Amino acid sequence: MELCVALDLPSAEENLALASLLKPYNIWMKVGFRTYIRDGKLFIEALKAMNPEFKIFLDLKLYDIPNTMADAAEEIAKLGVDMFNIHASAGEVAMQTVMQRLANYEKRPLVLAVTALTSFDETHFQAVYEKSIAQKAEQFATMSYANGLDGVVCSAYESRAIKNATSQTFLTLCPGIRPFGEDAGDQQRVATLELAHSEGVDFPVVGRPIYKADNPQKKVAEILSVMASF
């Protein structure tokens, strides 16, 4: 299990200050829409310069026509990030086109597919996808596995079923983690670190419980120590 910290603060300075506090740890840093749209490539470079061991997950959830997605995937690979994601609902051709394009890269980033956003509850999910979250997440995961992706983004509650339906080595990255039962915020399907571990989660993603903590560094140290005890 590897911790992924969401850098979702309102400015590059605040995100870099948080990253700097976490410099001693070899963890994953999740750069999402807010940060990437505002601070772009320079921000990625600043993070890498701060600690070359930081792994970077670019959480841009690509969703477009296959060729446009593959073009974007190639630009992402050139940035030197370690992982990015696409929406599984973009479909099999998009998945294949993205993976074929990345095959030219000797060290390509890991590619994950978003199944169901963790902010969805059953009712709102079914209004869009007309299936239960569990059914659809498993179907999307099976499709992603068959088309050569490295894993999926899902809630901790789908992680085990997804691994059973694909492979135990197929990665699950799960947002909505409240390591010690902290406030859920807008997330509907939250899980503790312990539950994430028992469901085989590879990457627990933690945002607010870390960056809103009085002492983010202490919080990360506590999380890593619990993870080390598993």
* Binding to ligand C5P, residues 124-183 (CB under 6 A): 153, 175-176
Residues numbered 106-135 forming contacts with ligand C5P, rule: CB under 6 A: 114, 117-118
Q: How many residues does the chain have?
A: 230
**CA gap 156, 174 in Å, rounded:** 6
| Region of residue 200 (left: phi > 0; alpha: psi -120 to 50; beta: else) | left
Residue 15 makes contact with ligand C5P by CB under 6 A = no
Nearest to 29 by CA among 20, 73, 37: 20
Does residue 6 touch ligand C5P according to CB under 6 A? Answer: yes
**Could you give the C-alpha distances from 91 to 28, 34, 145, in angstroms and in order?**
27, 25, 12
Residue 21 CB, shortest distance to ligand C5P, in Å, is 17
x/- contact string, 38-77, with ligand C5P (CB under 6 A)? ---------------------x------------------
207 touches ligand C5P by CB under 6 A = yes
**DSSP letter assigned to residue 30:** E
200 versus 207: smaller Cβ distance to ligand C5P = 207
- From the list 41, 48, 61, 136, the catalytic residue is 61
Instruction: Using the minimum distance from each CB to ligand C5P, give the nearer residue, 101 or 156.
Output: 156
Residue nearest to ligand C5P (CB): 207
**CA neighbor of 2 nearest in space, from 36, 40, 28:** 28
Which residue of 9, 205, 220, 223 would you call a contact of ligand C5P, by CB under 6 A?
205
Among this protein's residues, is 163 annotated catalytic? no
Place of tokens 């239960």: 132
Which segments of 88-132 does DSSP mark as H helices, in order?
A: 92-102, 122-129
For ligand C5P, which is the closer residue by CB, 70 or 206? 206
Q: Provide the token pair at 127.
A: 């209004």
Q: Is 8 in the site for ligand C5P (CB under 6 A)?
A: yes
Binding residues for ligand C5P, rule CB under 6 A, total 16
User: How many whole angstroms separate alpha carbon 77 and alpha carbon 28?
Assistant: 17
* 185 belongs to the binding site for ligand C5P (CB under 6 A): yes
**Eight-class DSSP state of 39:** H
Residue 173 φ then ψ, to 5°: -115, 125
Residues that bind ligand C5P (CB under 6 A): 6, 8, 32, 59, 114, 117-118, 153, 175-176, 185, 187, 205-208
Catalytic positions: 61
